[in-house]
Amino acid sequence: MSDESREYPAVNSTKAKTKSFAAALNYEAVDMRQGWPQAARDACRQIWDLMHASPLENVDEAGKEVESRFDDLINALVEQRDGLVGASQLDSDIRELQQLKRDVLENWPWSSLELPPVNVEMLNASMAAFAAGEKGQRIEVLIRQLSSEIAFEKRRTG
Amino acid sequence: MPHVLVMPLVSQALGEILPRGPLLTVLNRMYDQLENHYERYRTRRYSARPDDYFDYILYFANEQGEWSTFRFTIDDKQAQGYLIVAAVSYCKGKARPG
């Protein structure tokens, strides 16, 4: 297990999810050719649900895993198509999977991409306020307040 | 273990970007990571003012599967034992290649 995995439980969860994604996109699924595009979409949905549940400091490994599994499946489909007569259905399947891969990975936030610029105006204003006596709020206090608001809202709306 | 202080401009900006549920998720992640794993993140210094600030980056997917990138600028020199979250910048969707 990597250092990162030991320290970030969510990374382990991400790996588990990407493994289930891989399971959904294995060769047997291709061989059956029954509902695999939907299975692939469902697997993607699971990954998004996990990412939504837990923000992460780095998602490169998960992205590479997803990319690799898409490539494996597309290659398997291409091989199968080329070995069959009258396998035109596979063409549309392959195109659909290629499009799904583009959709998933197009906006993936690889760590090699440029970060948003530092908000210098906010930075200077915050530090000026700190120097003037504004000490901010402990993050755990913010969390408690927000949790209370959410719980109140849930009770109110039933 | 350092304590994390969030400046009002930051909490205000986050409140304008995120609904309450996702905001709680982001704050909980920051709380856990910065208080327990500060040493891991402090080495990523803000290049314009490396003596004072480090960058803490979070990637977050919304329910529609759209990514957001948050860049927090955090002071770890002003007050011993405290991390002051002084600024946040944010981009949604595709970022430009670096």
Which residue did the predictor score with more confidence, A5 or B40? B40
Q: Which two tokens stand for residue B2?
A: 């350092």
Task: Residue A22: name the closest of A46, A53, A55, A4 by CA.
Answer: A46
pTM: 0.81
Question: For the residues of A57-117, what is the DSSP string, one character each?
Answer: S--HHHHHHHHHHHHHHHHHHHHHHHTSSS-HHHHHHHHHHHHHHHHHHTT---TTBPPPP
* Averages of pLDDT over each 10 residues, chain B, 98 residues: 96 95 94 95 96 96 84 96 97 54
Task: Residue A55: name the closest of B10, B81, B4, B26 by CA.
Answer: B26
Contact A107 B67 (CB under 8 A): yes
Contact B26 A55 (CB under 8 A): yes
Contact A123 B73 (CB under 8 A): yes
Average pLDDT value for residue range A103-126:
92
Q: What is the pLDDT of residue B12?
A: 97
Which residues of chain B make contact with A52, given a CB cutoff of 8 A?
22, 60-63
Contact A139 B59 (CB under 8 A): no
Are A47 and A18 in contact, with CB atoms under 8 Å apart?
yes
**Nearest chain A Cα distance for residue B52, angstroms:** 11
Half-sphere exposure of B48 toward its Cβ, with a 13 Å CA cutoff? 10
DSSP A33: T
pLDDT digits (tens, 9 = 90+) for A67-79: 888 888 888 878 8
Residue of A nearest to B94 (CA): A107
Q: What is the pLDDT of residue B98?
A: 35
Q: How far apart are CA B6 and CA A126, in angstroms?
A: 10
